[in-house]
Structure 1
Amino acid sequence: MSVSPQEAILSARGLTKEFFGFTAVNSVDLDVRENTIHALIGPNGAGKTTVFNLLTKFLTPTSGTITFRGKDITKVKPADVARLGLVRSFQISAVFPHLTVLDNVRVALQRKAHLGTQFWRSSRVLHTLDDRAHELIEAVGLAEYANLDAAELSYGRKRALEIATTLALDPPVLLFDEPMAGMGIEDIGRISALIKRIARDRTVVMVEHNLNVVADLCDYVTVLARGEILAEGDYETVSSDARVREAYMGSEDD
C-alpha cells in the first residue's frame, strides 16, 4: 500500500533532529493516510518516540517540515496543534486521580464547550455536559465506573478513561504513545478493541512495541532503525522484510 501526499492528513518531509551532534532522526519522510491506523515501530533507540514528539511539536526539528491537512505546522506550538485537531496521549496515564470518571470527562468537555476558564459559572452549567460525558464513558466501556474516583481504576481502565478525555476534544487525529505499555493480556485486548472502534471515523498514529497488537490493528507500518526509515507497508510486508527481522533479532552471525 503506497500513500501519496495528496491522500495524507499528516506528513513530514526531511524530518531531522539532532541532539548535541547526535542525529536521533535523519531525514524522515512520512505520510499518514486519513482514517487509517498507522504504527511507528522499531527496536530500542530507533527514533520512534523522537519522531512522535516531533510530529506533535513537543520537540522542534533541526530541519524538515511537518504538514497537517495541507497546513505547514513546523513552527506551530503544541497547544495550537492540539486545537487544530492533532491530539496525543502519553506513556504515563494522564487523568485526575481524585476526580470521578464522570468529572474527568466533563473537565475535558469544558474546553470544547468554551467553559474551560469561566470559573464564575454555576455548577449547574456543567451538568449540560453530562449527556455527552456519559456517551463517551459508555463508548470506552466505563459506564459502571462513572462515579468512581479515577485513582481506583485498574491501569487499563485508566488508559480507557484517558482515551475518553481525548475523544472529548473530537480530534480527527489521535496519537498514542505506547498505549499497551505495562498492560496485562485482558487490558491489551480491551484497549485494542477500543482503538479499533474509535478509528472507524478518525486517524490513529501509534508508537507500539507489541507486534501482535500492530499485526491485529494497523493498516500501515513504518519501521525505524537508527533514526531512519527501514521499511514501510502493511504488517505482512514489513514483517517479511529481512532487514526488519535483522533489526529486531540480529543477523545469524551475531
Structure 2
Amino acid sequence: MTDIILQARNLSKNFGGFKAVNEVSLDVARGSVHALIGPNGAGKTTTFNLLTRFLDATSGTIRLDGKDITRRHPADVAMDGMVRSFQISATFPHLTLIENVRIALQRREGGTFRFWRPITRSEALNDEAEQLLADVGLADRAGRLASSLSYGRKRALEIATTLALRPKLLLLDEPTSGMGIEDIAPITALINRLRGPMTVLMVEHNLSVVAELSDRITVLSRGEVLAEGNYAEVSTDPDVTRAYMGE
C-alpha cells in the first residue's frame, strides 16, 4: 500500500449558498510531487486553504500522517510539519534576503525570535541561509533588501524561507507565478530535488512545469475532482479538455 502523508475525505466548503469546494477527496503519497490544477475558479486555492487550516471546512476530514488535523490551528499544523507558501509573497521588505531567511531559521528552533540575542548567534546561521538562497537562485542578491526584488524573485525568497522550516510536507501555491524563464528553471530544479526527502503539493498554472515535475495530478473543476492520474492520463482526458477549452 502506498504511504499516504496527506489525506482529505469528502472535503467541502460553503460560502452562504455557494459551494466553493464539493466533496473533494485527495491522497498525497509521501515523497511525491502532487499537483492540483484546474481552470480559473475551480476551487484550487480554497482547497489549499482548507488543507492548511486557513479556512474551516463545512464538512469532511483532513489527516496528516494519520493524525486528524481537521480542526487544528494553522500554526499547530505548521509545527506538525506541513508548511505552505502563498500566492501573494510574504517577506520582510526592509530586511535583506539573508536576514529574511535567518528569521525563518530562528523560528525553526521554536519559541520567540529572540531579536535581542548577540548578532554573532544569527551570523552562525549564515551558511545555511546562503545555501537556501543559492537553492532558489538568489545567492548573488543575499545582501539586498527584499523590497528591491521583482515579484517573481520575491516568490523565490518566500520559498527559501519556507524551506528553512524543514517541512515534511511543503504546499506551494503558484510557485512560478510572475517569474521569468530565467527564474523558473532553478525553482523547478529545486522542487525536483525535494522529491523523496520531502513531499510537495502544489497549485500551478504553468502546465509545462506540472508535466515536468508531477508524479500525480488532481484536476478540479467547479469545486469538484474532475480527474486524477499522471500527466499523460489527465492531459488526454476529454472532460479535462472541455474544462480548460470549452466545447
TM-score category of the 2 structures, normalised to the smaller one: over 0.9
8 Å Cα contact 2:30-2:196 kept in structure 1: no
Q: Which residue of 2 aligns with 1:45?
A: 41
Q: Which of 27, 32, 42 does residue 28 from structure 2 map onto?
A: 32
Residues 90 and 40 of structure 1: is their aligned pair in 2 closer, same or farther, counting only changes over 3 Å? same
8 Å Cα contact 1:91-1:178 kept in structure 2: yes
Q: Which of 177, 197, 201 does residue 197 from structure 2 map onto?
A: 201
Q: Distance in 2 between matches of 1:104 and 1:189?
A: 22
Is 1:142 aligned to 2:126, yes or no? no
Instruction: Give the gaps of 5 or more residues in structure 1.
Output: none
Q: Distance in 2 between matches of 1:100 and 1:58?
A: 28
Aligned residues: 247
Stretches (4+) displaced over 4 A: none
> Which residue identity does 1:47 align to in structure 2?
G
Q: Distance in 2 between matches of 1:206 and 1:213?
A: 11
Is 1:224 aligned to 2:230, yes or no? no
Q: How does 1:75-154 map to 2 (within 5 A)?
A: 75-114=71-110, 116-154=112-150
Residues 133 and 184 of structure 1: is their aligned pair in 2 closer, same or farther, counting only changes over 3 Å? closer
> Which residue identity does 1:23 align to in structure 2?
K
Q: Distance in 1 between matches of 2:30 and 2:221?
A: 25
Report deviation, 1:117. 3.7
Instruction: Kindly provide the CA deviation profile for residues 4-48 of structure 1, in whole angstroms up to 9, marking residues without a partner as x.
Output: 6x5210000110111102111111110000111111111111111
Q: Distance in 1 between matches of 2:193 and 2:168?
A: 14
**Which TM-score applies when normalising by structure 1?**
0.92
Is 1:177 aligned to 2:173, yes or no? yes
Q: Which residue of 2 aligns with 1:244?
A: 240
**SS of alignment partner, residue 131 of structure 1:** helix
Report deviation, 1:199. 2.9
Q: What is the identity percentage for the equivalent residue pairs of Structure 1 and Structure 2? A: 62
8 Å Cα contact 1:15-1:29 kept in structure 2: yes
Report deviation, 1:200. 4.2
Report deviation, 1:126. 1.6
RMSD of aligned residue pairs (Cα, Å): 1.5
8 Å Cα contact 1:156-1:191 kept in structure 2: no
8 Å Cα contact 2:37-2:203 kept in structure 1: yes
Q: Which residue of 2 aligns with 1:166?
A: 162
